[in-house]
Amino acid sequence: MLDPYKIREEFPILKRKINDHPLIYFDNAATTQKPEQVIEAMKEFYENHNANVHRAIHTLSQESSELYENAHEEVAKFINSGGMEEIIFVRGTTEAINLVAYAWGLRNLKRGDEVLVTLMEHHSNIVPWENLSKINGFQVKYADVNNDGTLNYESFENAISRKTKIVCLSHVSNVTGVISNVKKIAKIAHEYGALVLVDAAQSVPHLPVDVKDLDIDFLAFSGHKMLGPTGIGALYGKREILEEMEPFHGGGSMIREVTFNTITRRCSVSLNDLPWKFEGGTPNICGGVGLMAAVKYLKDVGMENVKRHEADLTEYALRRMKECAKVTIYGPKDVSVKCGILPFNVEGLSSHDVALFLDSYGIMIRSGFHCAQPLHEKLKLKSSARASFYIYNTLEEIDRFAELLKEIE
């Protein structure tokens, strides 16, 4: 079983005080804190192995390259992909989705085609498709959500058709914590000949994810939401699809060779192997090392344990928050269908007022649209406050949170 009290000792920032109060960090859906193991791994890289990867034969470059490649391997194993060739390192979920949009969508989507997304999506899984549709002329369609924030599967099935070329959806909503049945969606999508892109920013850090079992074509996630550093994330893609795709970025490292033809006065470019053909330029090497350390940390904790701990925290928080007469909680209350994310509002106060009040007592939460304005409009909310939990949070912190919510009334 996961021991949050032991885990907390490995997170230096949790020893901080905010406004003379112990730091209670409930903004984990936005980004997570970093354990000493991740911090030390990155420090060790810069102190002892710093050099560019795949560029030189000297010792430091060989060490750096090995670490960077090992990071790809660890991520591949973590989500049970077919190998490091299917793992492309990017800056985060946003860049991963944009990579699919412009490296695959730009060449495969045309007027008359459709892209199907859902109304619960983060803006990063809406904006790239809307922008690209203005270039290629395809239509972006939206599957509806129910009043509790869960995906309306009937709406999805009514919206999909033979015109649908790719389905894009969040595994877990960053607003309500709802877990969508990705395996079911993938099966339906493939029956119509469509690919499936999953935004896993809120699922890979919080529950076991197996891309082979889900049978999805692309999976995007961020390192900073799973104990790793910012500026690093990963795109998983089925190898046969990645092989056919053209690169998103052009430059060094992503090519095998560039030769100049003196007759045509043109350069001929041959591409590098996977995954490097999608990682042009000097990558975030240290970020990859930090992500590898984060993955190893979570593997040691056990993703089933992470999921169970969050469910316990969420169930307890729901019970305590119901004691607050002016607090309204949104989304499903069944913890078996959601991760540790609780959106709420306090009657008579804006979400920002609530966040500022809690901040004065050292409690960090999110307020606003959470980069998911269409879902808020669907739920008829001007904004929401959001508490989100992780492996280092405790029942005592939730007690403090609930007591302060009573006080704010």
Task: For 366-386, write each residue's pLDDT tens digit.
Answer: 999 999 999 999 999 999 999
| CA atoms of 156 and 401, how far apart (whole Å) | 37
Number of compact structural domains in the chain: 2
CA distances to 89, 100, 257, 261, 303 from 270, in Å: 21, 21, 6, 14, 40
Asked whether residue 257 falls in the same domain as residue 367, the answer is no
pLDDT in tens, 46-68: 999 999 999 899 999 999 999 99
Lowest mean pLDDT among 123-132, 224-233, 241-250: 241-250
What secondary structure does DSSP assign to 133-170, as a single string?
Answer: HHHH--EEEEE-B-TTS-B-HHHHHHH--TTEEEEEEE
Q: What is the CATH number of the domain that holds 339?
A: 3.90.1150.10
| 12 falls within a domain | no
**Rounded distance, CA 183 to CA 352, Å?**
37
Place of tokens 């983060």: 122
Residue 252's pLDDT is 85
Q: Is residue 25 part of a domain?
A: no
The pLDDT of residue 409 is above 80 = no
CA distance to 63, 272, 273, 280, per residue, from 256 (Å): 21, 5, 8, 12
C-beta separation of 210 from 79 below 8 A? yes
Q: How many residues does the chain have?
A: 409
CB 106 within 8 A of CB 328: no
135 and 121 both lie in a single domain: yes
Question: For 226-240, 255-269, 342-356, 367-381, which range has the lowest pLDDT when averaged over its residues?
Answer: 255-269
CATH of the domain at 114: 3.40.640.10
Stretch 210-234: mean pLDDT, rounded?
A: 98
Q: Point out the residues that are catalytic.
A: 371
Rounded Cα–Cα distance for residues 204 and 272 (Å): 28
Residues 244 and 332 in one domain: no
Residue with the two structure tokens 């997170």: 11
Is 372 inside any structural domain? yes
Query: pLDDT tens for residues 252-262?
Result: 888 889 899 99
Helix (H) or strand (E) holding 291: helix 285-301
Task: Rounding to the nearest 10 degrees, give the CA dihedral for residues 186, 372, 101, 89.
Answer: -90
* 212, 100: one domain: yes
- Answer yes or no: is pLDDT of 18 > 70: yes
Range of the domain at 227: 39-299
Residue 181 and residue 64 share a domain = yes
pLDDT of residue 309 exceeding 70: yes
User: Of 264, 299, 334, which closes a domain?
Assistant: 299
User: Which of the four pLDDT bands, split at 50, 70 and 90, describes residue 122?
Assistant: very high
Same structural domain, 109 and 246: yes
Say if residue 275 is preceded by a cis peptide, omega within 30 of 0: yes
Burial class of 201 by CB neighbour count within 10 A (0 to 12, 13 to 18, 19+): buried
Q: Is residue 33 part of a domain?
A: no
1 pLDDT above the threshold of 90: no
Buried b / exposed e along 229-254 (16+ C-beta atoms within 10 A)? bbbbbbbbbbeeebeebebbbeeebb
289 and 321 housed in the same domain = no
Shared domain for 250 and 155, answered yes or no, is yes
Same domain, 265 and 307: no
Residue type, 405: L
pTM as predicted? 0.96
Q: Are residues 84 and 222 in the same domain?
A: yes
- DSSP per-residue letters across 353-405: HHHHHHHTTTEE-EEE-TT-HHHHHHTT-S-EEEEE--TT--HHHHHHHHHHH
Residues 127 and 63 both lie in one domain? yes
- 333 and 294: one domain? no
